[in-house]
Amino acid sequence: MLIIVQNLPVPLDRRVWLECQALVARGYEVSVICPKGPGDPGRQQLSGVRIYKYRPAPQASGVLGYLLEFVYCWIRTALLANRVWQDRPFSVMQACNPPDTYWLLARIWKRRGVRFVFDQHDLNPELFLSRFGTPTSLSGRAQLAALRWLEKQTYAAADQVISTNESYRKVAIARGGMDPRDVTVVRSGPDTSVMRPVRPHDVASESTAGGRHTLVYLGIMGPQDGVDTVLEVMAELVHRRGRSDVDAVLMGFGDCLEELERRCTELRLDDVVTFTGRAGSALIAQHLSAATVGLCPDLKTPLNDVSTMNKTMEYMAYALPSVSFDLVETRVSAEDAALFVPSGDVAAFTDAVESLLDDPELRVELALRARERAAKVLDWGPQSAAYVQVYDSMCAIAEVTVAVEGFEYVDLDDPDALRQFVLTRGPAVT
């Protein structure tokens, strides 16, 4: 199996890495093509996954910059796909968007019998509308039309579509024209056996010394992510409400990181706000275990409203109560394990945060609900099974369970198979 991802390196992309591990555990051979992260080698093998990496494109700006980035990444990916094939021919190609450009590569490889799975992480037309609004210029309308065309071509090339939630699945069926039988929901649930509270170490315990509270944000810092709201909330708490017992840790990176750092200085928050940049699993575990409140500042936009926010579920896995603007899919994830306020209402968001800071019982109640829901409803385990089943069905692999001792179980869900077993069973071999 070949998996292609452009917007993050692997294993940093946690969803894609969990998918890889699920396939390897099932017995599939998995290769990945992705950009390099800082210090990454061009070729490595981790936990049974072969990873092929290329130097990332320079940071894009403007239409021409993004076009050059997409073309560069597409060509590098196409060349590496040939390398993968030489090392180990693949039967299925999975492309994870954004962008919606790898359908053409899939078409080329389909000539060799390779099937195509579209793992849809974003709705790119909605992403455009969320960042720029409804276009009024000829250029803007052309760009939106191009994104819709690319999405349509990706759906048309796909043998199977994997959607991150029911909202995305509805789009794949209604707008993409996909057969409902060919669209499977695989939520980006946390692996709660790994993502779980830990006893805080040095880096995290410093923030809780002296009874201080820490607010935490984990995720990408792009124009659509609303991270500037975190700074506005901190300014309200520290400068206008006079709280001296709160600080914030912002983990992640993105197009807006430098702008956010400048804004932090303008708001006189440098002493109480820490930007960690790219954060590994150990740092994430420490900070999410030590924090008091998790923040979900994503505004209600055409994209955010129907997208599953990984940070919400990750906060929940660490038994961390959170505050969020009221979004459809975030409510599906958290239900009553988070506090919701109207989108864009910074004062209400701050009030909700402060209510959690000042009410330990409320924090405990939400934390326990969050962890229970993460473990029992959102956990990656059931999602992993749904994901692997997509590949099993494409490869015509039967769902057969093999006992540890090497015996094959009779399929009790197949009446004909059970009847045939009963009719043909014989005396035990001694």
Question: Scanning the structure block, which residue is given the tokens 């276009």?
Answer: 135
Rounded Cα distance, 247 and 257, in Å: 18
Token pair, residue 359, equals 């009410």
Per-residue pLDDT at 67:
87
User: Which amino acid, one-letter code, is at 92?
Assistant: V
Per-residue pLDDT at 341:
98
Among positive and negative, which fits the CA dihedral 244, 250, 256, 262? positive
Pairing of strands 183-185, 213-218: unpaired
Per-residue pLDDT at 428:
44
Rounded Cα distance, 354 and 9, in Å: 37
Per-residue pLDDT at 115:
96
Per-residue pLDDT at 403:
43
Per-residue pLDDT at 401:
45
Per-residue pLDDT at 200:
64
Question: In what order do the strands lie in the sheet containing 273-277?
Answer: 273-277, 246-251, 213-218, 293-296, 322-325, 338-341
- Given a cut of 50, the residues of the chain with pLDDT beneath it are 203-209, 400-407, 409-410, 426-430
Per-residue pLDDT at 207:
46
Per-residue pLDDT at 210:
52
pLDDT of 104-125, one tens digit each? 999 999 999 999 999 999 999 9
Predicted structure pTM score:
0.80
Per-residue pLDDT at 411:
57
Domains identified in the chain and CATH numbers: 2-185 (3.40.50.2000), 202-378 (3.40.50.2000)
Per-residue pLDDT at 420:
60
pLDDT of 162-174, one tens digit each? 999 999 999 999 9
CB 114 within 8 A of CB 84: no
SS (H, E, C) the chain: CEEEECCCCCCCCHHHHHHHHHHHHHCCCEEEEEECCCCCCCEEEECCEEEEEECCCCCCCHHHHHHHHHHHHHHHHHHHHHHHHHHCCCCEEEEECCCCCCHHHHHHHHCCCCEEEEEECCCHHHHHHHHHCCCCCHHHHHHHHHHHHHHHHHHHHCCEEEECCHHHHHHHHHCCCCCHHHEEECCCCCCCCCCCCCCCCHHHHHHHHHHCEEEEEECCCCCCCCCHHHHHHHHHHHHHCCCCCEEEEEECCCCCHHHHHHHHHHCCCCCCEEEEECCCHHHHHHHHHHCCEEEECCCCCCCHHHCCCHHHHHHHHCCCCEEEECCHHHHHHHHHHEEEECCCCHHHHHHHHHHHHHCHHHHHHHHHHHHHHHHHHHCHHHHHHHHHHHHHHHCCCCCCCECCCCCECCCCCCHHHHHHHHHHCCCCCC
